[in-house]
Every structure is written in C-alpha cells, then in structure tokens.
Chains A and B, each alone.
Chain A
C-alpha cells in the first residue's frame, strides 16, 4: 500500500461517520417531533373520550358536558359525498392523462391539475360560495363536499396517472391483441392491475380533506344541530375544534382536544390502511 491510500483513508472514514451521524440525528429529531405532538394530543384528548363525546350534541353556552355527534356525522357526510364526486372524476382524468401522454390537451390538463393543487383551500371555499351558495341562497353540506372534492382531485388524479403509467404497455397490447375494446381493456385489465396505487390515491385524498376547515367556512358553514340532510349546513370535526379551541370556555377546550384526538386517530388509521392494502394488492408484472 502506498502512502497515498493511508492518508486519504482516515479522512474519508471520519467523513463517512460524521455524515451517517448527521442523517441519523436529523431523522431522529423529525420522528421525535412527530411522536411528541401525537403524545401530547393523546394526553390532552384521552380525558375527554367518553360516551357523551360521541353521542351528544353540543350543549348551549354555559352548560357543561355535551359532545360532538353532529360534527362527527357532518364530517362523515361531507367527506363521503366529496369522495363520491371526486373519485370517479379523478380516476377518469388520471386514465386520460396516462393514455394520452404527449398530446397537447393532456399537457394542459396536467398543468391545470398542478395549479389546482396549489390553490389555497380558502380560495376554493370562496369560489364555491359564489357558484353554489349565493345562487341557492343557503349554506349546505353538498356545497362543502363540492369544495372538498375539488381539493381531493389532484392527489387522486396524480396517483392514478402515475400508477397506470407504471403498468407495462405490453399488458395493454396483450389485451387489445385479443380483440378487446379500449373500454374493456381499461376496466378489466388496467384498472385492476393498478388498484393498489389508485386506492392509495383515493385514501390520500380523503386524508387530506378530512382535516380541512377553510373551504367549509363559507359552504357547509356549521350547525349545532344534528342533521343528515345534505341540503342543510353541517358542522364538521375540524370546524368544531376551531370554534371550541378559540372559545374562552374550559369545557369546550376539553371537547376540542377530544375532537383532535379523534381526527388524528382517523388519519393514522387511514395511513395504516394504505400501507396494508398497498402490499396486499401489489401486482407483479
């Protein structure tokens, strides 16, 4: 071994170790922050997890107790309706983008999707207010769903497109070579093959909107009463958290923490679902 190797080697080893330590350290601090937040929410919210939280509507100001049944139901309605609107639409646009790469129109659509993703949620809320709420004269759950659906579109479209693009073109060719129509090829071969990624996209979309407040401020608005009517305004969990947390009442703060815990748990469960099903539905080509 010449003198040159020995000289460089020590320095390189030390650099290696420093770098590894840095990466470890930063990762650890990131994770630490996440865990601290989760832990804190858990600690603050666990106290208010009782049957009342899930079964009662909010009590009027001044009275203690009460729950957020109306907000839970409201969130469910608004999110499910948004999903019903956004998922078929988003998947279709995703299919279009995947099948028509290189075409001018699809380039424009892709740009539009990117822009859509960047629009602030409150702006979307205001736009829907102008389009739906003002003409109809009332706040409603479905207008909130429309706003949320618009926000859900970019992740669904992007995930669908990326998943379909990864499917080898030879699969599509094999189907067409058997005389299948384009429609059947998509429905029976391509979508099933991409179900993992498409499903992830949908869940990511849901996770994204489940905690949104801003677009609902001018659309679903809020409602202390329990309702399942989509043409009426509804409360949602994040809205309630916002309202209660900014109030001066301790009791409401307690409920807000409870709501936060529910919301965070919901998001964590959704992410776990993505992970489980992504592996289960992984398709080998």
Chain B
C-alpha cells in the first residue's frame, strides 16, 4: 500500500459561466483503484480530465485550484510531461486506425519522438500486451490494422498503449460502457490485476462495477464530493443519505 499519490486542493472547473466542479479536496491513494461515481452531469469526468489537463483542448474551459502529482503542481508542469506520467483510456476504444497493433502499443514512444532499438520495442510490445492479456490473441498478427480487432480487444489494446508508457496513474473514463458483458468482465479482471503496479482512477456509471473492482469510492453530485470512503463502507453503510439513495436506485 502506498501513500497519497495525487491530491487536489479546491479544484474548480467552469465552462464559460457555468461552474461544473465546485471546489474538490481529495487525496488519491497509490496502487489502488479509486472509483468516481455519480449521476450524469455531476462532474466526475470533468475532474478526471482536469488531471491530465485535457481541458486545454476546450477554449471555454477554465481550471482553477491545485492538483498535485506527488508534490508537484500539475498545472505548473509542462502539459506533455504530465500526460506522459498520467495515462488515459477513453470510453470508446480509440486505437489509431492508421497504425498496426504493434505500432499502437508503442505509439506513445513514436508520438514523443523517442527512438528505440528493435529489441527494446519488441520487449515493450510483448510486455504490455501480456499485461492486458492480449498477447496470446494477437502475437501472430502484430502487423495487422488495429481496427481489425473486436471492441473488447481494441479497448485492451488502448490499455496496453497506456501501460507501455509505465505511467504513475492511469485514468479510465467509463472504459467498459461501450463493451459487451464478457469483454467488460475481462477488463475488470485486468484492472484488478493491474492495481498491484499502477494507480487507477476509474469513472463509471455502473455502480456494481465500482463496487466490484475499486478499493475506494467517491460519490459526486452536482459538482461536489459528497462521500469518499472505502468501497466496502460506501456500499454497506454510506454516511450520506444522497449516496444511499443513489446506490439503492432511489434517486430522482
């Protein structure tokens, strides 16, 4: 078990005049899975994307407050450096369509202009694909287009792509919501294994998923953090009434 690896201080995010994230203070523990859950529009994805500074793509977005990775302020670092240390997996699998499976895995290195020897590249690809349980399925087709894989395989490829960079934190934005139940189960098993070596933060609409795989769960509502505790406690005896209403399905 590690200590705090990520910390936010009065994190606020607004889009134009609309304050979507209203001052969040929280600490994420290392080598664990932390789940962000809450109804639509509660700000959980917004917070996630603030961690790897993806809001810089949106001109109307303004991020205030502080986020610390270990003890460095993320907003004072070079954006590209942050993103190399914090990986992301998106809702819809998005492997690069013009690259092969092999190239996709090391795309992080290609896109950062890092030159590697063939041996090193092969090792990285094999290692990452084994970590996401994809190696056996694709080892004979590494040069094939990445889009020739099924949805579940593509998502695992995206996970391999993130893992290959050996990030300190991996952010997952509803990674299984576009997948069928079997693929979802495979990925959940993967995440459970990966947490031994990586810190994972997962935004999910699926409460049962949060319950199954996370160590800590954070419940957000209308931009505020209402409850943040061990998953076991949140799902057996939540402290906040709104949390209880949400997880028992009595919301709205």
Contacts and interface: CB of A to CB of B under 8 A. Distances in A.
Interface of A: 102-103, 168-181, 184-185, 188-189, 192-193, 195, 283-285
B1 interface: no
B97 A173 contact: no
Contact of B158 (A168, A174, A185): A174
10 contacts: A175-B96, A176-B54, A177-B54, A177-B90, A178-B112, A178-B165, A188-B110, A193-B96, A283-B97, A285-B97
B83 A179 contact: yes
B59 A177 contact: no
Interface residues of B, number: 28
Most buried by A among B54, B111, B112, B162: B111
Contacts of B87: 177-178
Contacts of A185: 111
Given A174-B158, A176-B54, A284-B97, 12 more contacts: A171-B96, A173-B54, A175-B111, A176-B83, A177-B54, A177-B83, A178-B162, A179-B84, A180-B112, A188-B110, A284-B147, A285-B97
Contacts, number: 80
Contacts of A169: 57
Interface of B: 52, 54, 57, 59, 80-84, 87-88, 90, 92, 94, 96-98, 107-108, 110-113, 147, 158, 161-162, 165
Nearest to A194: B98
A168 B97 CA distance: 11
Contact of A174 (B81, B94, B110, B113): B94
B182 to A, nearest CB: 23
A172 B57 contact: yes
Contact of A173 (B80, B90, B107): B90
B94 A170 contact: yes
B111 A179 contact: yes
A185 B90 CA distance: 17
A172 B158 CA distance: 14
B88 A177 contact: yes
A177 B147 CA distance: 20
A283 B59 contact: no
Contacts of B97: 171, 193, 283-285
Nearest to A185: B111
The 3 nearest A-B residue pairs measured at CB: A180-B111, A179-B84, A177-B88
Contacts of B92: 168, 170
Most buried by B among A169, A178, A185: A178
Contacts of A171: 94, 96-97
Contacts of B59: 102-103
